[in-house]
Amino acid sequence: MGYRHTREELLQGAVDAALEDGLHRLTFGRLATRLGVTDRAIVYYFPSKDDLVTQVLTVLGDRLVGVLADAVSGGARDHRDLVARAWPVLARPQVDPLFALYFEAVGLATAGAEPYRSLAAPLVAGWVDWFATVLVGTPAVRRREAEAALALVDGLLLLRQLAGPAAANRAAKVLVG
């Protein structure tokens, strides 16, 4: 099957490139140069740019879920409890590039750019669902608390990206103490 490059290799390289350079610099040409192939090799596996972006963001989403799985173990009482326990893991410097990419994709989604717009809804729904499974209470309460937790996490992570780790940690202490 694998001749010189497998699909997984190229996808992995694309994710790495996106993490380093940002989605706005993820192009067939740049990626091909980076991986030492021609853009034709990439187009073979990912027939359109939207396909490539979709696959990359899917991998990104999976990795984010992985980070969350590390961050939240079990039965949180409410959004405050959940975020208080998750924050130390979410605030690790290693995952910063992941969230930088997340916010870039989310920004393009709010601007109505495809395919980001179509991908944003399931991605956000995934976060809420995951948070909900960790919380206790009736389904309605768990959903409300999960949405609140998501707003808190996004706000803190965005503050971390824009104002630095120190500001985000101060805000986290104030908000979920």
Partner DNA sequence: CCTTGATCGTAGTGATCACTACAGCTAGTT
Partner DNA sequence: AACTAGCTGTAGTGATCACTACGATCAAGG
Answer for which of 33, 38, 48, 110 binds a copy of itself (CB under 8 A) is 110
- Counting beta carbons within 10 angstroms of the beta carbon of residue 145, is it exposed (0 to 12), middle (13 to 18) or buried (19 or more)? buried
Q: What letters, b where the CB count within 10 A reaches 16 and e where it falls short, cover 94-106?
A: ebeebbbbbebbb
Query: How far apart are CB 6 and a copy of itself at their closest, in Å?
Result: 28
Report the partner that residue 62 touches, choosing among a copy of itself, DNA, none (CB closer than 5 to 8 A by kind).
none
Answer for which of 7, 47, 137, 151 binds a copy of itself (CB under 8 A) is 151
User: CB-wise, 136 or 163, nearer to a copy of itself?
Assistant: 163
Per CB under 8 A, contacts with a copy of itself among 47-76 are: none
Q: Which stretch binds a copy of itself (CB under 8 A): 4-12, 38-46, 69-77, 139-147?
A: 139-147
Report the partner that residue 101 touches, choosing among a copy of itself, DNA, none (CB closer than 5 to 8 A by kind).
a copy of itself
User: CB-wise, 37 or 98, nearer to DNA?
Assistant: 37
